[in-house]
Each structure stands twice: as structure tokens, then as C-alpha cells.
A and B are shown apart, each in its own frame.
Chain A
Amino acid sequence: MESVEKMDIELNEQGLDGSPVCVKKMHLFEHIGPLAASAQSYGPKRTHSRVLMSIYIVIFKARINVLVPFGPLAVVLHYLTGKHGWVFFFSLVGIVPLAERLGYATEQLAYYTGPTIGGLLNATFGNATEMIISIYALKNGMIRVVQQSLLGSILSNMLLVLGCAFLSGGIVHSNKDQVFNKAAAVVNSGLLLMAVMGLMFPAVLHFTHSEVQYGKSEVALSRFSSCVMLVAYASYLFFQLKGRHNLYSPIDEEENQNDDVDSDEEDAPEITLWESIAWLAVLTAWVSILSGYLVDAIEGASEAMSMPVAFISVILLPIVGNAAEHASAIMFAMKDKLDITLGVAIGSSTQISMFLIPFCVVIGWIMGKEMDLNFQLFETASLFITVLVVAFMLQEGTANYFKGMMLILCYLIVAASFFEHIDPTVNDN
């Protein structure tokens, strides 16, 4: 027990903000207590134990990390057999825990950097997984995959994540309607709607066959619009992070909520500044490697599993990229903190539409790929309809399990329509 207490003190000395460590945590550290106790006395071994402990915290503590072995398995499978279906599936499953740990490391880092940079970090790394997957796909020239996966990410955030959150929250709190802050939801969804509108114009221009130079004007317009959208995103960040204490920024809200209310979970930073940076780098590298295999295996998997590439891009890929946000949204909904859930879901959609999609267009421009904002007619229509309907539905300010059910069923319909969807351009080629 002595060693455990020493372990306790050591934890407190390691730059945590002094909040009492939960009994649960103490319990988990019991079995490495002796190791830590001995480490205390021996200097060089202290770093060794710190590394071990940080590995422990980052890798072994989260239950989702049972999925981690799937990653290396995917790489192994890629080289041993040529089975694209299995490689795809395994790398998909392998990325999920990495994405979650990436989010965790970002949060930890945010504790050290203060709210401003923390918000910026969250904003950038929040969708890091989708960004990495998209850049790999762009490099491979799979432009439709990029467009569809980003679009599917927005659809999945607005329908699936929200739906599951409302459903689980509604089931847990089934005796009343859950309430959320209407004003913030309306403002955020208005912003998302405007971003989607900005994204749609090139597609609408192309499909009304009214461009000056058929095909080329539309790419030029897409690039110009993307630059405009990036300027809009920069002003969005500037506006949010300027320390306005109002209901706009879900990021600040989340951190405030955590600091005030939660005393059981990531209340205190668990790893040091340098460790979080190191882990951030390691996880990002690992995600990149797996994404490479993932993207390479898409087409083969589509044939092997006999489903359209559209379905894989729009439905399967985003589920992976969003898995961590999905889980946290559900968790917060079950704790009756729907504002955070909405902030996560709508904020993520806004980030993708205002930052990620224009960013990919610009990256494609730099790479010389013809990535544009011309999502085909079906995708554009479904995006607009979805965002409009969900934005409208959020205006009421209440949630219950039935609404969640409706959202999930809508998502099933959208998924089914993508299952039957073939790209007209693919046919032309």
C-alpha cells in the first residue's frame, strides 16, 4: 500500500493541477506500483518508467485499443495475401482506435497550451483522420473518393451521430425531453448552411450547363470559392477564439464543462507536454501509414465485397473517421449534456465544410489534380436537403429518442440510396 501511496504522490508531483485523483485511477496503477517505487530511487530508470507509464496511459488504458492489433495485421495481410477486402476491413478497424487516441492526445496537449491555441488545435486535429485519408486519396488521383468521403462525413455527423446521441440520450432520460441551447444550435446550423451554400454554387453552375468554358470555368470557380471559404474559416476561428464568453464556441464550452463538473474523467492532464506532442506525432504517423493501405485497398475491396465505391466512400470511410466523435457525442448525450453533443456534431460538420473541403481543393490545385467542388448532382442535392432539414429540426431546442430514431432511419435511407448509386462520370469513362 505504501508503494501505491507513493505512486499517488508521484502522480501529483508530475504537474497535474492538483485535483484529487480518483480511486479508480489508483486502482489501475497498483500493479506497477513496485516498479515506480524503485524508479523513484534510480535516476536513469525514471525516464524509462515515465515512457512505460505514458505508453500505458495512451495505449492500454482505453478499452477501444483492443482494436489496435488490427492495424499491423492489415499491413501483414497486405504483403502476404492480395486480399483487398480483408486488408481494407482490417485497416479500417485498425484506424478507429488510432483516431480516438489522436483525439485524446490533442485534448491533453490542449491543457498545456491554454484555451486559444487549444481551440485551434482541436479545430485542426479534430478531423485529422479524414484529412489524412483524403490527402492519400488525392495523391492516388481518386478525386471522387475524396469528395464522397468528405460529403459522407458531413452526412454522418448530421444524421448518424446526432441520431445515435439523441436516441441513447432519450432512452437513458426517457421520462422527459432533453433540452439544449436553441440559440447556439441555430447559430451553428445557420453557419453550416451558409458554408454548404458556398460549396454548392460550382456544382449548380456546372449542372445548369451554363459555364463559359464547359468544365474549366467550374474548376476555376471551385478554386476561387475554396480560397474564399478558407478566408471565411480563418475569420470564424478568429471570431470564436477572441474570448467571447457566449454560447458560440462548443470547444470552450466543452472545456469549461469538463473543468467544472467532471471530476472523474480527463479532468487533469495525464501526460506531460512533451509526451503529448510525441504521441501526437507517433499517432499521426501511424494513421498515415494505415491510411495508405486503406486507400490502396478501396477499389479492390469494392470488387471483392461487390458494393459500389460510392457506398464505401460515403458510408464506410466516414464512420471510421468519425468513430471517436461518435462515441463522445453519445456519452455526453447520456449524461444530459446535449449542448456538447451538438457542438461536436455540428462543429465537426462546419469544420469539414468550411475548412477541410476547401483545403483539399487547394491541395489538389497544388498537386495539379483536378479536384473541384463539383460533387455530382445526387450528392449535392442530398447534402443540401440533409443540412436544411436537420438545421430546421434543431430549431425547436428539444430532443427525445423518437427524433433520434428518425435521424438514424433517415441515415439508413441515405445509405441505401448510395448503395444503389453509380457515378455517371464513371459510366462515361
Chain B
Amino acid sequence: MENKGGRRLNVDTQPSYQLEMFENKGHISISHSHLEMGKLDGQFEHEFEDECCVGPSSLIRNNSSPEIENHNESFSNAGEKCSISYMKYRAFRSLNIILFSAKINLLMPCGPAAIVVKCLTGQHGWVFLLSLLGVVPLAERLGFVTEQLAFFTGPTVGGLLNATFGNATELIISIYALKKGMIRVVQQSLLGSILSNMLLVLGCAFFCGGIVYNKKDQVFNKAAVTVNSGLLLMAVMGLLFPAVLHFTHTEIHLGKSELALSRFSSCVMLVAYTSYIIFQLRGQNRSYDGDTEHGESQKDEDEEVQISKGEAIFWLAIVTIWISVLSEYLVDAIEGASKAWNMPIAFISVILLPIVGNAAEHASAIMFAMKDKLDISLGVAIGSSTQISMFGIPFCVVIGWIMERHMDLNFQLFETAALFITVLVVAFMLQDGTSNYFKGVMLILSYIIVAASFYVHVDPTSEENSHRN
């Protein structure tokens, strides 16, 4: 049984077997209780110590250690190598790591609570709020599991994984909304995700970093940022043309040409995204490749592999399923929540939904900024925006095509103008390569203004629809 991350607690009297098992050196940090286990010959102990690796700090952080120690002792006292109990132990341990080690998981109960509330009462407002809060820790765990899996698969596939699952939450929410036919919600939530990444996440990162380092301006790699924002701008331009065509009333068949153009553009954008991924993964040694957080984060905290490959895949599936379940409740409750809270659906889609989807990236960007690693923050923010504009949105159009929904790239005029202006201005502002808390303040205030304008924004199409109905 080869297992890279395995911890062997069963003290066996067959040293050779144990030697085999420890062939593959993992990067697991081992608690001190293991050294107390008796019946170890010197060699065995030695090997244990050799494997004791980076970051006892992670284990200190891991508040599950007392429980593991208890189970260690119980298993070691049993003194027999039983595969079932071993599995149980492994399962329990990985459950611990996934569920209990992150403080954000305090929000986990909100998920089941949302389902309960939905079944018991019809209060859409509460269902929405609770499922919103419930998705947040799941999104974070999804990111964690993806990172862990990426350790096993090597940088190439790992980058691909990060790229795909990075925005999995938003994609899942969008697909559910598409299934329900809420096309505007899809468009607005994806657009809001880009806006939130460019303004709110960047602004908070600059602000927090600037406050921590207020003696000087923080510097970041101008070249990488310029390349990435140029890409983003081109992606946004590709997204805008169907909308511009529609609003200048210059289509051949009003409404239909624009849909066909959207679908064609989406395929083109997906091809562009594929080549972007190939380019990134091939040229990982390029100096300006700033947004592979993968490479940079090796130096950081959660760099050790904490769960095994099989476990990672398993948890990926579980968390994704759980997010899907919650998203369904979330999307079902949007309209009811909008009436209950008396705010436009546009505001909920553009501002509230993306905050949820981006929460994990938000937190990590702020953390990296406070450690003066602005390149990673920028990589996260701009990379996420680029992924959404080059992959997320066209993918949803194609899925809508398959599902035969009328999903197109015709974001209404206000959203289109807002997106274009924002991306242009932020791309321009990032060009000088420095940051300070004031720029962060400006970005956050701009986001507040954008949010306020969406608060008083009503879709002209929804008004027409309601008149027609």
C-alpha cells in the first residue's frame, strides 16, 4: 500500500513491513505522541524522525491534534494492523482536516440550516441568507482541496485544475440559474464577479497592505500586471461586441443575429482561453508569469500536503456536490429574497452573489498583500477576472446553447458600460507598479459608487417582460 501522506500508527513488530511503508517520504508533520509509542526499534524511530518535516506550526494550528492523539493511542493500544479501523481512522483524520481545521467552517451549519428553513417555512429571505453564508466555507474548502490535489498532479495539470475549479462556485450557481431560465441573473452575477475582483478585492488588498506597510509604497511587478490586464481588456472587448451590435440597432435580424453572434463569439473565446492555458503552462519559466499562485505559494503556510490524492479527489467530489445542493436552494430563493428585502434583483446578482463566490479569493488576496506579496494578490484578482471573462461567461453561453436557453452576451447597456469603464480605469491605474492605502481607498470607494448605482438600477428588459406578462 503505497501512500505518500500516510501516517502509520499501527506499531507492528515487523520492522521490514514498516520500512516498506515509509518508503515514500511524505511531508507530514507528526505529533510528538508518536515518539512515545513503544516497541520501536531504533531504526524505526529514526525513520519517523526523518520524516518529521515542515511546520509543526500547522499542527499547532490544527486544533484537532488532541483528538488525533487520543485515537493514536487507542489504535496503538489495539496493537493490530486492521485495515478497516485504519481506514476509519484515515477517514476521520481527513474529515478533521477538511472540516475542522479552518476557522471559516463555523459557517458550515448555515448550509443545512438553509435547507431546514426552506422546508419548514417559506421565508425566502432567510433561506437566501443562510445558503449564501453556507456556500462561503464550502467555496473556501473547495479551493483548499484543489490546491492539495494540485500537489499530486504536478504543475501542469495543477495549473489547469486551479484554472477550472478556481471559479467553480460561480459556475455552479450560474448553471443552476440557467436551468431555471434566470438569464439576467447569470449575466449580472458573472459581471459582478469581474467588478468585485477588480475593485473590491484589489481595493481591500491595496488598503490592508498599505496600512501594514505605510512607510513606503508597495511595489509589484509592472510587466506581469500589464500583460494580464491587457488580456483582460481584450477579453472584455470580445464580450462587448454583441452588446454594442444590439444597441446600435444594426443587426440583420433583430435579436436573433445577436444571439448567433454571441454563441460564435463564445466559441472563439473558449479557443482563446485554451490557448491562454497552453501558453501559461508551457511557459512557466517566463519571468512575468505572475499569476501562477501555485509557484509562489510553495513558500507559504499551507504548502504541505495534508491529505492524500485519493482523499483529495474524494473531497473534491463531496464539496462540489454539496455546493450544488446549496446553490439550488440559493437560486430558488433569489426572487423571493429580492421581494422580502425590497432590493432590486440586479443588486443581489451583481453585488451579493459575487461576494460569496469570491470570498475565499478575497481573503487570500488580503493576506498576501499584508505579507508584501502583492504580485500574488494581483495574480489572484486579475487572473480570476480573466478566467471569468474568457472562460466562465462563454462557457455559460455554450451551456445555455446546449440547454436551449436564450443566454447571450448581451449584457444590457448599463452593465456593459460599467464593465468597460471599470476594466479600463483599473487597468490604467495599475500601470505604474506601485500601491498604497490611498489607492485602495479609491478603489473601494469606486466599488461603493458602483454598488450604489446598481441599487437603484432596474432592468429595462424586466420591465418590458412584466408589461408583456
Return A342 CB to nearest CB of chain B, in Å. 14
Contact at B457–A211, with CB atoms within 8 Å?
yes
Contact at B446–A210, with CB atoms within 8 Å?
no
Contact at B412–A224, with CB atoms within 8 Å?
no
Using CB atoms and an 8 Å cutoff, list the residues of chain A in contact with chain B.
183, 186-187, 190-191, 193-194, 197-198, 200-202, 204-205, 208-213, 217-218, 220-221, 224-225, 228-229, 231-232, 235-236, 239, 246, 384, 388, 391-392, 395
The complex places the Cα of A388 from the Cα of B344 at a distance, in Å, of 32
Q: Can you list 8 pairs linking A and B with CB atoms under 8 Å apart?
A: A186-B431, A187-B432, A190-B428, A190-B432, A191-B442, A208-B417, A210-B413, A229-B445
Instruction: Identify the closest chain A residue to B459 (Cβ).
Output: A210
Q: Is B424 an interface residue (CB 8 A)?
A: yes
Contact at A212–B417, with CB atoms within 8 Å?
no
Return B449 CB to nearest CB of chain A, in Å. 5
Residues of A within 8 A of B459 (CB): 210
Query: A186-B431, A190-B431, A212-B344 known; A205 and B445 CB under 8 Å?
Result: no
Query: A205-B456, A246-B217 known; A194 and B450 CB under 8 Å?
Result: no
Partner of A236, one of B422, B428, B438, B446: B438
Partner of A194, one of B344, B417, B425, B460: B425
Residues of A within 8 A of B417 (CB): 204, 208
Q: Is B262 an interface residue (CB 8 A)?
A: no
Residues of A within 8 A of B418 (CB): 201, 204
Contact at B428–A391, with CB atoms within 8 Å?
yes
Instruction: Identify the closest chain B residue to A190 (Cβ).
Output: B429
Contact at B422–A197, with CB atoms within 8 Å?
yes
Contact at A202–B425, with CB atoms within 8 Å?
no
Query: A208-B412, A210-B458, A232-B442 known; A221 and B428 CB under 8 Å?
Result: no
Contact at A210–B431, with CB atoms within 8 Å?
no
Residues of A within 8 A of B434 (CB): 183, 187
Interface residue range, chain B: 20 to 34
What are the 9 closest A-B residue pairs judged by CB atoms, nearest first? A217-B456, A208-B414, A190-B429, A208-B413, A239-B438, A186-B432, A201-B453, A212-B458, A210-B414
Return B199 CB to nearest CB of chain A, in Å. 10
Return A119 CB to nearest CB of chain B, in Å. 15
Contact at A232–B445, with CB atoms within 8 Å?
yes
Total of A-B residue pairs, C-beta within 8 Å: 96
Residues of A within 8 A of B422 (CB): 197
Contact at A235–B438, with CB atoms within 8 Å?
yes
Instruction: Identify the closest chain B residue to A196 (Cβ).
Output: B425
Partner of A204, one of B414, B437, B445: B414
Q: Is B35 an interface residue (CB 8 A)?
A: no
Q: Is B352 an interface residue (CB 8 A)?
A: no
The complex places the Cα of A221 from the Cα of B425 at a distance, in Å, of 21
The complex places the Cα of A23 from the Cα of B418 at a distance, in Å, of 59
Q: Is B403 an interface residue (CB 8 A)?
A: no
Q: Is B91 an interface residue (CB 8 A)?
A: no
Instruction: Identify the closest chain B residue to A395 (Cβ).
Output: B431
Residues of B within 8 A of A187 (CB): 432, 434
Contact at B456–A201, with CB atoms within 8 Å?
no
Known: A187-B432, A232-B445. 16 other contacts (CB 8 A): A191-B442, A194-B443, A201-B418, A201-B453, A202-B453, A204-B418, A205-B453, A208-B412, A210-B413, A221-B453, A225-B452, A231-B445, A236-B438, A384-B421, A388-B428, A391-B428
The complex places the Cα of A210 from the Cα of B417 at a distance, in Å, of 12
Return B74 CB to nearest CB of chain A, in Å. 58
Query: A201-B453, A208-B460, A210-B459 known; A232 and B441 CB under 8 Å?
Result: yes
Residues of A within 8 A of B448 (CB): 228
Contact at A209–B456, with CB atoms within 8 Å?
no
Return B416 CB to nearest CB of chain A, in Å. 9
Return B201 CB to nearest CB of chain A, in Å. 16
Q: Is B327 an interface residue (CB 8 A)?
A: no
Contact at A198–B445, with CB atoms within 8 Å?
yes
Instruction: Identify the closest chain A residue to B424 (Cβ).
Output: A388
The complex places the Cα of A232 from the Cα of B443 at a distance, in Å, of 10
Instruction: Identify the closest chain A residue to B416 (Cβ).
Output: A208
Q: Is B436 an interface residue (CB 8 A)?
A: yes
Residues of B within 8 A of A212 (CB): 344, 456-458
Query: A190-B431, A198-B449 known; A205 and B442 CB under 8 Å?
Result: no
